[in-house]
Amino acid sequence: MPRHRFPWWSQYTLLTRVRRLFQEPEAILSPYVSAGMTCVEIGCGMGFFTVAMARMVGPQGRVYALDVEPKVLEELLRRAERAGVAEHVRTMLCPAEELSVEGPADFALAVWSMHELEDPALGVARLRDCLKPGAYFLVAEPLWHVRRAQYEQTLRTIEAGGFMQSGAATVRFSRAAVFRKGL
């Protein structure tokens, strides 16, 4: 059983305009995401970052949005349709440990979701298999319920899985780091 799983019905609280005041997806993602890229989001929820990422990759790009809750993926697709980017988004109902995408991806994102994986090492291995050499992986965990020791263990698991930490990221109210897949 996972240590914690954010209930599907409470994920509406993560879509507020107030959140955009302290976490603007485009500003967070712009150093790593551009037109034509293929991106993977682990624990996408209702698409706070997914929809922005789909806009950024444009018609030639693709965003694979992965979650274990069918209801959040349904809402994500509704939001993507309203934003006019649904054709760029592929939802996947599965845990990260079962991740598989068409072709290698350029970027991966896990915001407030790594602590929910039942087997983080396996999830990182599956992600590594889906990414191009040199691809970036941005990880952010919430300050209020992922303790520093747990976050540091997550970083060690990612490094042991074939990624090199390439710096910190700024995701407010989070501990965040950026990794690159080894060449």
Which tens digits make up the pLDDT trace of 149-158? 999 999 999 9
From the list 55, 57, 51, the residue with the least C-alpha distance to 33 is: 57
Instruction: Pick the more confident residue, 55 or 6.
Output: 55
Q: pLDDT, tens digit, for every residue of 29-84?
A: 999 999 999 999 999 998 999 999 999 999 999 999 999 989 999 999 999 999 99
94 half-sphere exposure, CB direction, 13 A CA radius? 14
| Whole-Å CA distances, 151 to 26, 40, 51, 125, 155 | 24, 21, 26, 18, 6
Q: Are the CB atoms for 76 and 47 separated by under 8 Å? A: yes
The mean pLDDT of 126-139, rounded to a whole number, is 96
Question: What is the reported pTM?
Answer: 0.89
Q: Alpha-carbon torsion 45, 49, 55, 57, what sign?
A: negative
Checking if the pLDDT of 7 tops 80, the result is: no
> What pLDDT, on the 0 to 100 scale, is given for residue 95?
76
pLDDT of residue 119: 93
The Cα–Cα gap between 83 and 1 comes to 35
Put residue 36 in one of left, alpha, beta given phi > 0 → left and psi -120 to 50 → alpha.
Answer: left
Tokens (6 digits) for 97: 């440990």
Q: What is the mean pLDDT of residues 113-125?
A: 92
Tell me whether strands 131-142 and 105-111 are parallel, antiparallel or unpaired.
parallel
Checking if the pLDDT of 4 tops 70, the result is no
DSSP state of 145: T
Which of 47-51, 98-102, 123-127 is predicted least confidently? 98-102
State whether CATH 3.40.50.12160 applies to domain 23-181: no
The percentage of residues in the chain with a pLDDT greater than 70, rounded to a whole number, is: 88
Structure tokens belonging to residue 182: 């080894």
